[in-house]
Structure 1
Amino acid sequence: MANQYQSVLASYIERARKVLQHEQRTHHQDQAIKPGGLERFISHWADETTNACKQASLDQRPIYRFIEHLEGYHSQDPLQRAASLRSAFAALNELDGQDGNATVTTVSKPPVSSGVTQQQKGEDSKIRDNNAIQGTKAASSLSVTNGMRSTSDDPVREQEALSVRQLRPVQPPPPPPSNTVHLEAGMSQGHTSLTLLSADVTAVPGVGPSVATRLHHLGIRTIRDLLFYFPRDHRDYSKLEKIANIPFNELTTTMGLIWDVENKRTGGGRIRTIATISDETGKLYASWFNQPYLEKKLKASKGAYLVVTGIKQRFGNKVEFSVRSHEFPEQGDLLNTGRL
């Protein structure tokens, strides 16, 4: 009977074997046939071979035993596909009259008639799943020990086992980053939050040793410190007040032309730098303490605009503007003015 199949189906069997071998070489990715994959090829192949068997009056059950191993191939994972191919090779060898050592015990499947019940289909599905599990275990048992290959007599099985091992190369796990936060399984939400808040600030992406050093100078060592670190004050540089409208004892930003600059020494030995600035609404005395080097720079900028931020205060019968920060708008873009 095998010789009859071989004489009638030789070209079909060889074509199927080449397709299955190519599928093995591509690591069971179902890319051997495009489009449609291996299932589409088997569907066309089954139609052709069954017609040939009918014309030669041959039993079609070996054909169905072959194609049943590849049903649902596209939806399987690579290990299941490897087991399906192994069973399909064994059935193909039976058709070709070769050694059947690679045969996996299967249940023959006659042509499905319209009267097959849903229960019978479920039983066939369970049998195929058991065959796939047995094939996977058989593949895992083939290994190389002490530099010697296994003594299996079936080259097809050895080739498939090598393909399965190539799918899962042994690679060492990557080392964990040094700034990770270790969380344990089963931790409650509150415990997880406390663990994250207590983590070192270097666990934040982008915070390296240099940034961490600067944060440590500010007293920030954990993520909790970072979340609860608030600015010392809030300055609004978005508005420029006219000199005549500057209120007392409020942080304000204004702008005026520089008219005069001088350094004065106070009774306590401190040096005050006073610049007279004005706009169309009035005149203002802007003062800096212990910054005598500003006199030279301010004198060089006479006639230019100066933006100052500070507090307007009364000293005896004089009104002065104690400067917190200043900028020269004509020398470049303003860094703070117009911003928060």
Structure 2
Amino acid sequence: MKGPLFYAKILLFGEYGIIKDSKGLAIPFNAYRGALKSSKTLSEKAQQSNQNLLKFYMYLSALETDLVQFDLDRLKLDIEQGMYFDSSIPQGYGVGSSGALVASIYDQYAKNKITVLENLTRDKLLQLKEVFSLMESFFHGKSSGLDPLNSYLSLPILINSKTHIEPAGIPSQKEGKGAVFLLDSQIVGETEPMVNIFMNKMKNEGFRKMLNEEFVLHTDACIDDFLHGNVTSLFGNIKKLSKVVLTNFKPMIPVAFHKVWEQGLLSNDYYLKLCGSGGGGYILGFTEDFDKAKATLKDYKLELVYRF
């Protein structure tokens, strides 16, 4: 057996803010992908994946919900016969490795599943997001369901609020100088501890005020600029957002990158922001001149995501 491919995702804007109901914008990232496969002889990596699928099966078996039913007998049989998730998506890097796995399991084993081909009303999108949130909570403790949704639909998704999400049309890429890129921190991040730090910070009134009055404001402005192709305004807002994140989300930024972050703000060669929950993995970069950013960041591994 071989299941269809599901892609990685990048949350361009909205990390942490979407937990508190601000806007978010996620896009599929086709450079990394995964699919369910089966083999009688498993490599060490495939064996590990097979064991994880068994744990996931047990979690799904114990789920008490009317939202979704799975063909659990078939899932168990396939796992026993050597099914694993063959994926190039790096784990702990903020690009949705567990999201692609969740999407593939839903696609293969959910009964009466909502398909990508039908008319995706807002209600159906919200139902999918809720199902994926339940499923992905196995991996992260608490999940918005957005990563699997993005991977499943393979469309850019605009999150207006928890109850209002829609597919988004993003401007087609241009052969310009500007770019969105990934900067590899070469550290594996873990979502749950980062989310716990954030939730503890949320107990502080000053932090909540900053989140509403600065972080959310700049995030929403960035999304509007990006969707409307207002590149000049976008970079002004990204710089503000990058500053706010450096000041208020330091625990989520690997220590070795505090200076690199500051250097971008001072030189205006690039601006950095969190990619996912932070703590490691990828850091997201925006630049008006990708060649210049590459020269400045020559000691780091960069990956192109989108061109302006």
Q: Same fold (TM over 0.5)?
A: no
TM-score interval for Structure 1 and Structure 2 normalised by the shorter chain: under 0.3
* More helix per residue: 2
Which structure: larger Rg?
1
Q: What TM-score results when the alignment is normalised by the length of structure 1?
A: 0.22
Q: What TM-score results when the alignment is normalised by the length of structure 2?
A: 0.23
